Amino acid sequence: MDIHEYQAKEILAGFGVPVPRGGLAYSPEQAAYQARQLGGDAWVVKAQIHSGGRGEAGGVKVCRSEAEIRDYAQSLLGTQLVTKQTGAGGKGVYRLWVEEATDIAQEIYLGFVLDRKTERIMIVASGHGGMAIEELAESDPDSLVRMVIDPATGLVEYQTRELAFKLGLKGKQIGQMVTMLRACYRAYRDLDAMMVEVNPLAITGTGDLVALDAKMSFDTNALYRRPQVEALRDTSQEDAREAMAADNGLAYVGLDGDIGCIINGAGLAMATMDMIKLAGGEPANFLDIGGGASPERVVTAFRTVLTDPKVEVILVNIFAGINRCDWIAKGVVQAYEEVGLTIPVVVRLSGTNVEEGRRIIETSGLPLISAETLAGAAEAAVAARPHPVAAE
């Protein structure tokens, strides 16, 4: 789960990271008011969306008067901001962050990420901030400093000093960087984060370190024990289908094809999508209904898949262990009755109570297409499409 810049800054400030003063605005008038409250003669107005690259896309501007702030806010609020990370649809701008301008002498990149290769938290830093880490890795790979944190000891002080030295910091900046690193690490560890990024971390004209931008992502599976983090969720920044699925305990990822997939188990879902591609089709989604799915849960899965207007056929592929094929079959029949399905549905069942599940499908009197194998189900789904999407 991602959160907004202002939320990440509030969290990090609570752990001891210095950030510029700022205020949140939902209207041009509020934006101008926040600037007036902050004082000064220059302010930075930032679109709050879950994406990087806002500056290049016109989502960040330095303003020098309240009138300029109002005009900029008016032009930005309610629009879809398209960045290199959002895709063509962009992200809706419904909040602005207005903060005091900072005298910047140098920009540093600082990130805490999960390195799956070493199964450790890794610090990635560079003396050239203000750019995405991918751009830094390509344009100046030698500038990147990587440091792995041992979970048995946590981040130890000699590591923080070593990193500060490698970034060329001096004097009071070394102590400030030690504080910054330890604060970011505690925020990452204590809140089950997946990523903490400060970019840029500015060295000001007075030589102090200040986090000018911040991003945080969190482990969705750990949100049940982090209600204070879950409360920061902004569904307006999420795919509506994925948000609907998450609210109903389903794992869903939208894709670009026309064959909707309702499957149990991530491995089986991946194999099913591969078979659809092999048969010449394109999956419209990844949807895992999980174990122990009731008929009602199956109906919810159908409703979720059908929110995608591109879906022209649905493939139900269940290998029942904890699940039961008769529950799934009842759910498919119930979905026809409640949702009013008009598109082809291919059903492949295997495992617990498979005979009863197949009997329910066969005696339902509904135009369901049965298949005994995964390959056969994928081929039947591809063949049933009235307007096929061309495979890449």
Is 160 labeled as ligand-binding? no
Exactly one of 197, 242, 282, 312 is catalytic; which is it?
A: 197
224 is catalytic: no
Give CATH for domain 239-383: 3.40.50.261
Full pLDDT tens readout for the chain, 392 residues = 999 999 999 999 999 999 999 999 999 999 999 999 999 999 999 999 999 889 889 999 999 999 999 999 999 999 999 998 888 889 999 999 999 999 999 999 999 999 999 899 999 999 888 767 777 777 777 778 999 999 999 999 999 999 999 999 999 999 999 999 999 999 999 999 999 999 999 999 999 999 999 999 999 889 999 999 999 999 888 777 777 777 767 788 888 899 999 988 888 899 999 999 999 999 999 888 876 667 888 888 888 898 889 999 999 998 887 778 888 888 889 888 888 888 999 999 888 888 999 999 989 888 899 998 999 999 999 999 887 665 55
| 1-19+103-238 has CATH 3.30.470.20 classification | yes
Q: What string of DSSP letters covers 103-163?
A: -EEEEEEEEEEEETTTTEEEEEEES--SS-HHHHHHH-GGGEEEEEEPTTT-S-HHHHHHH
Rounded Cα distance between 182 and 166, Å, is: 17
- Nearest Cα to 360, choosing from 334, 329, 388? 329
Measured N-to-C along each axis, helices 157-166 and 172-190 cross at an angle, to the nearest 10 degrees, of: 120
Look up 197 and say whether it is catalytic.
Answer: yes
Q: Is 102 annotated as a binding residue?
A: yes
C-alpha to C-alpha distance for 46 and 368, rounded to whole angstroms: 51
Interhelix angle 295-306/325-339, nearest 10 degrees: 50
Cβ-contact 313, 260 below 8 angstroms:
yes
54 annotated ligand-binding residue: yes
Topology of the domain comprising 21-101: Dna Ligase; domain 1 (3.30.1490)
Which residues are bridge partners to 96 per DSSP?
A: 25, 47
Q: Compute the residue count for the chain.
A: 392
- Per the residue annotation, which of 109, 185, 252, 336 is the catalytic one? 109
Is 99 labelled as part of a ligand binding site?
Answer: yes
Positive or negative torsion for Cα 339, 340, 346, 352: positive
The Cα 314–Cα 320 span in angstroms is: 19
91 is in an annotated binding site: no
Decide the pairing of beta strands 120-126 and 104-115: antiparallel
Residue 386 phi/psi, 5-degree rounding, is -75, -30
| Closest to 370 (Cα-Cα) out of 339, 323, 332 | 332
Report whether 264 belongs to an annotated binding site.
Answer: yes
Instruction: List beta partners, residue 149.
Output: 121
- The DSSP bridge pattern shows strands 259-263 and 313-320 to be parallel
Q: Does the CA dihedral 303-305-307-310 come out positive or negative?
A: negative
Burial of 38 (0-12, 13-18, 19+ CB in 10 A): middle
* Domain extents in the chain: 1-19+103-238, 21-101, 239-383
d(CA 22, CA 24): 7
Query: Residue 390 has what pLDDT?
Result: 56
> Has 221 been labeled as part of a binding site?
no
The answer to whether the beta carbons of residues 384 and 305 sit under 8 Å apart is: no
Has this prediction a pTM greater than 0.85? no
What CA–CA distance (Å, rounded) separates 24 from 325?
A: 51
| DSSP H or E stretch at residue 73 | helix 66-76
According to the model, what pLDDT value does residue 389 have? 60
Q: How far apart are CA 54 and CA 176, in angstroms?
A: 28
353 is in an annotated binding site: no
